Amino acid sequence: MFMVFLEQLAALVPPPRMHLQTYHGVLAPGSAWRDDVVPRPVPPVPVAERTSRRSYSGREQGLGGSARPPHRYLWAELMRRVFGLEVLRCGVCHSLRRLIAVITQRAVIVKMLAHLELPTDPPPI
């Protein structure tokens, strides 16, 4: 009895790397009406309008970031949407912060922290 139950349960488990969601009817990939039902992606905003809008992406800030799909959010946009935090806005003067450098070399980080008289070792786990 128990083995029969396990066999039936194992038959419901999909094989690895198999799509778990399939569409039928007008939502199916080969449907002729799919283009009429599924919304199209939003066209990219022209550069002139992009600079006038309040935005947090690196490209608008002049960082030379690559173009990202419109459905992808940057971490600062997610923090603003989820927690209501303006992480790229200064708490004192309320201007936008911008990225100056990304430092990944440990020696440089230790030297900077030592100069600021901050601990140079990471906290214990």
pTM assigned to the model: 0.33
Q: Which amino acid is at 7?
A: E
- The pLDDT, as a whole number, for residue 48 is 54
Let me know: does 25 contact 31? Beta carbons within 8 Å: yes
Under a CB-based contact definition with an 8 Å cutoff, are residues 59 and 98 in contact?
no
**Which residues are CB-contacts of 109 (< 8 A; sequence separation ≥ 6)?**
103, 120
pLDDT of residue 9: 87
pLDDT attached to residue 49: 53
* Residues 44 and 70: beta-carbon distance below 8 Å: yes
Residue ranges, the chain, pLDDT below 50: 51-64
In one letter, which amino acid is 47? V
